[in-house]
Amino acid sequence: MFQALLLARLGGGVLSLLALTLSLQNIWLHLRHYVRPEYQLYICRILGMVPVYSLSSWLSLLIPEMALYFDLGRDSYEAYTLYSFVALLINVAGGERSLAYLLELKPPLPHPWPMNWCFQPEVLGARFLQKVRLAVLQFVLLKPLTAAVAVLLNRHGWYVQPKTPTASPFWCYGYPYIWIVVNLSVSWALYWMVMLYLATEDLLQAFRPLPKFLCVKAVIFFSWWQGVVLGLLVQWHWLTDVGDFTSDSVATGIQDLLICLEMFVAAIVHHFVFSWRDFEDYAPDPSRAVLRNFGELVDIRDMLSDAKNALYGPRHEKELRDREPMIPKSHLTSFGEVYRHSSSLETAATNQFMSAGKREDVEGARTARALREAAKQLRRTDGSLRWERAPDAASTSGSTALPESLALP
């Protein structure tokens, strides 16, 4: 048993060291080449998931009696990572306000199966983004809160059922209830993250959102469900005590070792998916010090501001409408949107609305750096809106050609 424990600690330490080296190098390169803070801020926070996960898991292997405390920090950062990824998607799509305008011009988004049996198609717009943020922020709040409750219950012996003949039934302990709450919370957050991805997929093509989405979701999904499976194996007595270690300690050790391995793989994948080379075409600002960039990285005031906006959604939406121009839909007859992009994410997106044969520019409707799309035409028929591919300018009589400055490369 001692040899197995020593081997697990040694192997976990080597894997954690490799994961830390790869991940911290990637973060350092981003901070040195910090040219697009609106993107790289959240990318660095996502990359920080690997050091936090690997280090906390290895420390749990070294000090098993402190595992719940290390898990508290790991669980808190897991929720923070999910928030950072959603914020990254919204920023790449042009920011919340501009994205809300673009989404309002899209048809309602059907829910994936089998949720489409229970819910009507989701109307896209500012309220949709508010729902996404609320779904993510509830997980940001509940995940560390439930981890802290688990620590308190464990200290008083009410977290898991002890293996004694006089122990109370398992439903008298906190573990099953915390399991249910966290499972519902993470499922709801991931579901709305999928909805956001489906709603913005066409706007984020050049950003390659799918591999980034899979990277974040896979880490959260596997770390959570493998813990659930190990917990069930303990409850079903398929994992038993080994030497001086209880079955719960054995399950925790297996979980920590698996996370060390998974973080090593994640660090390799992140090196390609969240590479700093996506921004190497930009010239870095020599006046920005790496320490200053790191200070922005650990500043969480942006998350607190987003939480406020999500909680006061209707007021925020009203302010959005009051501050920015809104084209009356009753006058909207056709719509064209053009994106310019490059491999390094340098994009400037311009939206133009046409009303009674006359174009009206919408300020602030800058869409994502990453997107390309030819013109689309929005037509109003019998009071309903439907999307159609815009006809070619050569085959359309009386249509107004787009200016050369908006032409696709």
Query: What is the reported pLDDT for 350?
Result: 34
Query: What is the reported pLDDT for 286?
Result: 63
Instruction: Please say which residue of 298, 320, 339 terminates a domain.
Output: 298
**Are 118 and 264 members of one domain?**
yes
Query: What is the reported pLDDT for 169?
Result: 67
Tell me which residue of 131, 36, 76 sits closest to 300, measured CA to CA.
76
Maximum mean pLDDT: which of 81-90, 246-255, 280-289: 81-90
Q: Mind listing the pLDDT tens digit for each residue in 98-113? A: 888 888 888 999 988 8
Q: How many angstroms separate the CA atoms of 174 and 167, rounded? A: 14
Kind and range of the H or E element at 358? strand 358-361
The residue behind tokens 């280090």 is 55
Instruction: Please say which residue of 281, 298, 315 terminates a domain.
Output: 298
Structure tokens at 376: 């689309």
Question: Number of folded domains in the chain?
Answer: 2
Query: What is the reported pLDDT for 18?
Result: 95
44 and 20 Cβ atoms separated by less than 8 Å:
no
**Are 171 and 244 members of one domain?**
yes
**Are 231 and 345 members of one domain?**
no
Q: Is residue 315 in some structural domain?
A: no
**Are 333 and 257 members of one domain?**
no
Q: Is residue 304 in some structural domain?
A: no
Percent of the chain with pLDDT over 70: 69
Domain residues for the domain of 353 are 329-406
48 and 294 Cβ atoms separated by less than 8 Å:
no
Q: Mind listing the pLDDT tens digit for each residue in 115-165? A: 888 888 888 988 898 889 889 889 888 988 888 888 888 887 877 666 665
SS3 381: strand
Q: How many angstroms separate the CA atoms of 40 and 293, rounded? A: 10
Q: How many angstroms separate the CA atoms of 7 and 355, rounded? A: 71
Tell me which residue of 319, 290, 316, 292 sits closest to 305, measured CA to CA.
316
Instruction: Please say which residue of 277, 298, 319 terminates a domain.
Output: 298
- pLDDT-based confidence at residue 331 (cuts at 50, 70, 90): very low
**Are 275 and 374 members of one domain?**
no
Q: Is residue 306 in some structural domain?
A: no
Tell me which residue of 247, 225, 205, 222 sits closest to 347, measured CA to CA.
205
For residue 408, pLDDT beyond 60: no
**Are 377 and 253 members of one domain?**
no
CATH code where residue 83 lies: 1.20.1070
Helices 126-155 and 313-323 sit at what angle, rounded to 10 degrees? Answer: 150
**Are 42 and 182 members of one domain?**
yes
* Angle 131-193-386 from CA coordinates, rounded to 5°: 70
Q: Is residue 323 in some structural domain?
A: no
User: Is the bond leading into 114 cis (omega within 30 degrees of zero)?
Assistant: yes
Q: Is residue 307 in some structural domain?
A: no
Query: What is the reported pLDDT for 347?
Result: 36
Query: What is the reported pLDDT for 92?
Result: 85
- pLDDT-based confidence at residue 324 (cuts at 50, 70, 90): very low
Query: What is the reported pLDDT for 162?
Result: 63
For residue 374, pLDDT beyond 50: no
For residue 14, pLDDT beyond 80: yes
Structure tokens at 110: 């059907």
Average pLDDT over residues 18-24: 94
Query: What is the reported pLDDT for 197?
Result: 87
